[in-house]
């Protein structure tokens, strides 16, 4: 593939870091930047393909269930027929790294004793 010249403006700190990395790896800055750009585009391409696949799946579902009637009916059926042990019970606390941390030291102690 033909290469074309490209001007890039970066701050002095980043330039110094690139020069240092270039010396350490014994590779030209141009090669380091080309590799970084390739990796970035590959990563973005994967994300874009994933988003496109999700969008296509949603569009296909929308065609099969316009207005989400089946989805709403399934939700209503589950709410009406399944037991929810916490129905109407408020849970105080907050999520930290995907885990519920109960509010207050008493709740924390009880959870620790129960191994929950």
Instruction: With respect to residue 95, please indicate whether it lies within any of the assigned structural domains.
Output: no
Pair 92, 102: CB distance under 8 Å: yes
The domain in which residue 46 lies consists of 11-64
pLDDT tier at 19, thresholds 50, 70, 90: very high
Q: How far apart are CA 69 and CA 13, in angstroms?
A: 57
Instruction: With respect to residue 74, please indicate whether it lies within any of the assigned structural domains.
Output: no
Instruction: With respect to residue 22, please indicate whether it lies within any of the assigned structural domains.
Output: yes
Instruction: With respect to residue 81, please indicate whether it lies within any of the assigned structural domains.
Output: no
Instruction: With respect to residue 90, please indicate whether it lies within any of the assigned structural domains.
Output: no
Instruction: With respect to residue 17, please indicate whether it lies within any of the assigned structural domains.
Output: yes
- Phi/psi for 7 (5° steps) reads -100, 135
| Beta bridge pairs of residue 95 | 100
Instruction: With respect to residue 102, please indicate whether it lies within any of the assigned structural domains.
Output: no
pLDDT(34) > 90: yes
pLDDT tens for each residue of 60-110: 988 888 888 888 888 888 888 887 766 776 777 777 887 877 777 676 677
Q: Is this structure's pTM higher than 0.75?
A: no
Instruction: With respect to residue 21, please indicate whether it lies within any of the assigned structural domains.
Output: yes
Domains identified in the chain, total number: 1
Q: Closest Cα to residue 33, out of 49, 15, 50, 48? A: 15
Classify the C-alpha dihedral 99-104-107-109 as positive or negative: positive
């Amino acid at each position: 593939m033909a290469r074309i010249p490209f001007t890039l403006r970066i701050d002095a700190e980043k330039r110094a870091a690139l020069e240092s990395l270039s010396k350490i790896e014994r590779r030209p800055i141009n090669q380091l930047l080309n590799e970084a750009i390739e990796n970035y585009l590959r990563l973005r391409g994967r994300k874009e393909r994933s988003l496109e696949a999700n969008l296509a799946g949603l569009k296909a579902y929308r065609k099969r269930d316009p207005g989400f009637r089946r989805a709403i009916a399934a939700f209503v059926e589950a709410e009406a027929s399944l037991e929810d042990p916490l129905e109407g019970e408020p849970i105080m606390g907050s999520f930290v790294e995907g885990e519920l941390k109960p509010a207050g030291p008493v709740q924390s102690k009880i959870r620790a004793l129960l191994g929950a």
